[in-house]
Amino acid sequence: MYLLKDLEPKEVFRFFESICDLPHGSKNTKLLSDFCAVFARMRGLWCQQDKAGNIIIRKEASKGYEDHPTVILQGHLDMVCEKLPEVKIDFQKDGLTLKLDGDRLHADGTTLGGDDGIAVAMALAVLDDKNLVHPPLEVLFTVDEEIGMLGATALNIDSEDEGILTAGCAGGVRSTLTLPVRRESARGIPCTLSLDGLIGGHSGTEINAGHENAILWLAKFFAPLARDGGYRLSAMSGGGKDNAIPRAATVKFLAPTVPDETFNARMETALAALHESEPNATLTLETGAACDMGVFTRETAEKVFTLFETLPNGVIAMSEDVPGLVETSLNLGILATERSLVFDYAVRSSKDSAKRDLTARLKSAIQKAGGQYQERGAYPAWEYRADSRLRNVMVEVFRAQYGYDPKIDIIHAGLECGILSSKLPGLDCISMGPDLYDIHTPRESLSVSSVERTWKYLLEVLKAL
């Protein structure tokens, strides 16, 4: 029996629970994509599914709306998969365990995937209901690739704040820096130092919230120990998604002797200072028996520490036009050690020139250290449109339902509206959604009452278009 069967709107939460039953992390959305395709075909709706799993579903207009401009409803199928260390889940195969706590819906120790599963659920509910009033519809579900389509107006349901209509966003790119690692054998005490429990968060919308980056904090803590105390670096890792601020990181090293009370005191002092901004942070040390093992050469280790000290991270510039808006930033989201040390960054800016300047800094720094630079997944900024019929209609409908005007916002995060607008010049786009909290973290939750209000609002907007 469905946990959410009594929640309103029933049709939306029925689909949302079905979505949560399927694994759908990034690059693992085939089951959910196929689910949507089967849904469309069973209802006789025109559907096109490409090899990547992107889907377009068309629904004819209601009677009397046949000559109205087509409306695109868009959301993405993939979710960010993060979990607490003690949670046993295989995101490649398992669905989520849902928990309901009053008005808040969340998953048991994992991300909920409300970003963007609730958009998919709402769009499916619109497609499923034959009694709704609406213009011709094209529903676009995207995965990890760009897709072009026809249409006149686009409603993106990938925002996380009720009462805020997003009308612009930053562009971005994923940057990967790879530093070759030279090793040598040394003898000592193998140690693993782990930092966990940080707040984390979305690397766009929360990049200026002051949350610590676990990778950078641990690197700053360990560097002087290696330089002055003879500790030999063996491996570093942290983070899981380049668009999430890392909550945990680990450094493996070889100590000349078993770390003593001085080392422990240094850990306690550093952790106490960290607790001022990260109250749930933990720092643990594990040691093994003396052995021979491979470690970074001192020259390679010094290159690593120098990179950590010189590579930028966080907010680079604030907008001169919009008070409080981040213009340019980057986030070191993933660090991994294999044959090389690999840094994965999410770079964002509402100015293409600033984005190019920032990626040039990354490229110069890694090449100077003898490494390589690569880019992937570039997406354009979505520029604010001064004249927007869609925005005007949505403001009027919002005012009628809520009794006050919504906030019109531009965000420092990527939305598919930027890609759609670049493919279809002149496309009128707005992004909206219900209240979601702590997205991209295991604390993520969704307001049930906000979903109900947002659903009613969406239906009224479609009727007004």
Determine how many CB atoms are found less than 10 A away from the CB of residue 195.
27
Q: Are 231 and 254 in contact (CB under 8 A)?
A: yes
Q: Which of 75, 81, 125 is nearest to 107 (CA)?
A: 81
Question: C-alpha distances in angstroms, 296 versus 53, 182, 219, 337, 368?
Answer: 42, 6, 15, 11, 18
Beta bridge partners of 329: 315, 348
Q: Work out the burial of residue 315: count CB atoms within 10 Å of its CB; fewer than 13 is exposed, 13-18 middle, 19 or more buried.
A: middle
Nearest to 219 by CA among 343, 76, 96: 343
Quick check: 408 and 455 in contact, CB under 8 A? no
Of 53, 46, 28, 265, residue with least CA distance to 146: 53
Residues marked active site are found at 78, 145
Q: What span, in angstroms and rounded, lies between the C-alpha atoms of 454 and 465?
A: 16
Phi, psi of 377 (to 5 degrees): 60, 35
